[in-house]
Amino acid sequence: MLKARARRKVALQKLSRVSALPLNVQAPGNNPTTPGKVALGKLLFYDPVLSGDQDVACATCHHPDNGYAEFRDISIGVNGRGFGSRRSFRQPNDIPFVKRNAHTILNTAFNGINHQNRYQPERAPMFWDGRVESLEAQALEPIKTLEEMRGRHYPEADILDEVIRRLKAIPEYVQLFQKVFPDPDPVTAENLGRAIAAFERSLVTNNSRFDQYMRGDKNAISLDEKDGFELFKKVGCANCHNGPMFSDYKMHVLGVPENDKLDQVDRGFEERFAFRTPSLRNLRFTAPYMHNGELKSLKSVLEFYQDISQGKNRNRSVPNEQLDTLIRELQITVRDMAPIISFFNTLNDDQFDREVPAEVPSGLQVGGNIR
């Protein structure tokens, strides 16, 4: 028994390793990053020509003014108007809310990175349920999804062909694709995903005060923040939130309360109510929290974990025995919360690309129907 506990302690210590983000970003071998590709991807990211009704862009729910996330619990894509928390449905009871909280795109270039700074960009886990790998694959999924960008006028099997037809009819896009992709037929769905992924891979914030601290500047964070860092590790948060991105990229069953805006229970990964550990970087920009945005503040998140550690399950659909064993081992108290939240602030970094294109080649409203 003692040996088993010792092995468990060593395993948790290994999991608790955190470090600064790498200074450089890796790209897949079949999609090297170039300035031209990033520039093309940026235009596509802001252009609603990619959506079925040509009124929703990637930037509609992932805008730089919101840290490339959105200040909403769950988003309104198709059938919406307005920006961020002020966005509303044009036609009630037509197309529903997006199913889950919008991840920030910041630092998704590092998805899948472990505590040894190793990762494979072509195998990087994406979305709350990890259903696709790589930014290249992720970039196309919202276009195909009914409530995100596709809408009702095109079936899922046809929407990408329609988007490519539109892009081929815009001379500026044809020229830009030809410059970036030296193929006989450069305007393809695969190259569309590659261009958007290249732009998303450029959105990194790897010089937070925590990064500076881990690289040797011991004055980059305050004494209170250092105390919060030690508490963060001591109470067990780092069992799942580890590595440079403060995520083990694994699926965990937490029993988060359901969001009443959704018309059905979200059963997550493999119908097990499991969801991927999110990064803790840039939490300032990513409220509200959890896969359905049901917890509105960092304090409410820590209170939720305290409840779990005390045997209080907030989701009746998830049996107690199904809750992840790691979160049951948390030992967080009310007095720990303020220092830990203080530490979280060291992971914020607002030095990212905030420039919004003045126009996009389609001539449509930049960022979709957000005004």
**CA 69 vs CA 38, 73, 155, 293: distances in Å:** 19, 11, 27, 12
**252 assigned to a ligand binding site:** no
Residue 317: count of CB within 10 angstroms of its CB: 12
Strands (E), 43-87: 80-81
Q: How far apart are CA 91 and CA 87, in angstroms?
A: 12
**103 assigned to a ligand binding site:** no
Q: How far apart are CA 177 and CA 262, in angstroms?
A: 39
Over its C-alpha atoms, the chain yields an Rg (Å, rounded) of: 21
Q: How far apart are CA 285 and CA 73, in angstroms?
A: 13
**237 assigned to a ligand binding site:** yes
**153 assigned to a ligand binding site:** no
Which structure tokens are listed for 61? 């729910």
Q: How far apart are CA 160 and CA 61, in angstroms?
A: 20
Name the binding residues for heme c: 58, 61-62, 237, 240-241
Going by the annotation, the residues of the binding site are 58, 61-62, 237, 240-241
